[in-house]
């Protein structure tokens, strides 16, 4: 299995400074450095093993080899085809089909995206646990971002806190929507007596959704949505709250005449690659069931 490593060329601004300072600036935590020291990792400067008290010089080649990650023993690897839109040593982006859970449950321990990723990692010999950064509901299709190491997941978590990861969705919402564009700013919390359903409630967590109508049809509108927050079922709850539940979303009042699953697709993902230090934008085409519905209009 391949080990996960990071490499840096030391800039002039760190000439004479301790390695520890540089690594902390790269968001390498003390916990991670302890694991590197005691659990099988390695730090080298110009090919020679050194510790974090080593004084760096401009132009030094610093390599950090992380301890090998072990996947969860309870996660069953499965050989399921994945629609991979992008992959490098650090991240994986896939187009998840509707009907597939993001993660397994005790009741359904197989058939999830996480199971499929674990199976793919076995096949290509990647030594990593499964780190899903942006989950989607079972019946929502579209782009999912996966980190291929816990450190990369940590860096993405920092981006999520500062709202640097942006997802654009498209959906079919029932009825005639007026105005054609707007913002829904309503707190969302768990509905009393349900472990699944959410609702707008005063003591819920802050949630902000922007929507825009792409095209209005007699029975529904094709809309584009952008989230400023990432609450569970946020789009579904907010659209139901303003009287326009998603087609196929019977949990939140949508009918099943147009589609038999919520008509929601994550079509675009914008983020800053935490290792390559570059902006990335990935897009996924509308799935066939939603495309077919538009073609019938």
Catalytic status, residue 88: no
Assess if residue 294 is contained within a domain. no
Residue 136 lies in a domain: no
pTM: 0.90
Please identify which of the residues 60, 95, 137, 249 carries the catalytic annotation. 137
Contact call for residues 254 and 220 (beta carbons, < 8 A): no
In degrees, to the nearest 5, what angle opens at C-alpha 192 toward C-alphas 144 and 264? 25
- Best CA proximity match to 228, nearest among 284, 145, 167: 167
CATH number of the domain to which 10 belongs: 3.10.290.10
Domain count, the chain: 2
Domain end, chosen from 42, 65, 88, is at 65
Percent pLDDT > 90 in the chain is 87
pLDDT over threshold 80, residue 209: yes
- The domain that contains 216 carries what CATH number? 3.30.2350.10
pLDDT in tens, 85-140: 999 999 999 999 999 999 998 889 999 999 999 999 999 988 889 999 999 999 99
In a domain, 257, yes or no: yes
Residues 120 and 79: their CA atoms lie apart, in Å, by 7
* Distance in Å from the first CA to the final CA of the chain: 51
* Structural domain of 172: 167-265
For the chain, the average pLDDT equals: 94
């Amino acid at each position: 299995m391949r080990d996960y490593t990071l490499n840096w060329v030391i800039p002039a601004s760190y000439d004479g400074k301790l390695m520890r300072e540089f690594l902390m600036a790269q968001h390498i935590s003390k916990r991670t450095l302890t694991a590197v020291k005691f659990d099988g990792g390695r730090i080298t400067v110009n090919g020679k093993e050194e510790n974090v008290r080593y004084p760096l010089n401009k132009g030094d080649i610093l390599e950090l080899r992380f301890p090998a990650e072990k996947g969860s023993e309870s996660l069953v690897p499965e050989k399921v085809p994945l629609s991979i839109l992008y992959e490098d040593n650090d991240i994986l982006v896939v187009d998840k089909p509707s009907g597939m859970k993001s993660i397994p449950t005790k009741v359904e321990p197989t058939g999830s995206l996480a199971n499929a990723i674990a199976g793919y990692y076995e096949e290509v010999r990647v030594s990593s646990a499964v780190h899903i950064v942006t989950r989607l509901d079972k019946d929502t299709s579209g782009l999912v971002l996966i980190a291929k190491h816990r450190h990369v997941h940590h860096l993405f978590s920092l981006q999520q806190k500062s709202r640097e990861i942006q997802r654009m969705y498209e959906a079919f919402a029932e009825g005639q929507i007026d105005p054609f564009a707007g913002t829904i700013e309503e707190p969302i919390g768990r509905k009393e007596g349900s472990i699944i359903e959410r609702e707008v409630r005063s003591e819920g967590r802050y949630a902000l959704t922007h929507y825009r109508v792409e095209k209005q049809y007699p029975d529904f509108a094709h809309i584009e949505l952008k989230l400023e927050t990432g609450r569970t079922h946020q789009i579904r709850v907010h659209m139901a709250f303003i009287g326009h539940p998603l087609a196929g979303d019977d949990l939140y009042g949508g009918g099943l005449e147009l589609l038999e699953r919520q008509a929601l697709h994550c079509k675009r993902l914008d983020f800053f690659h935490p290792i390559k230090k570059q902006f990335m934008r990935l897009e996924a085409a509308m799935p066939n069931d939603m495309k077919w519905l538009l073609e019938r209009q």
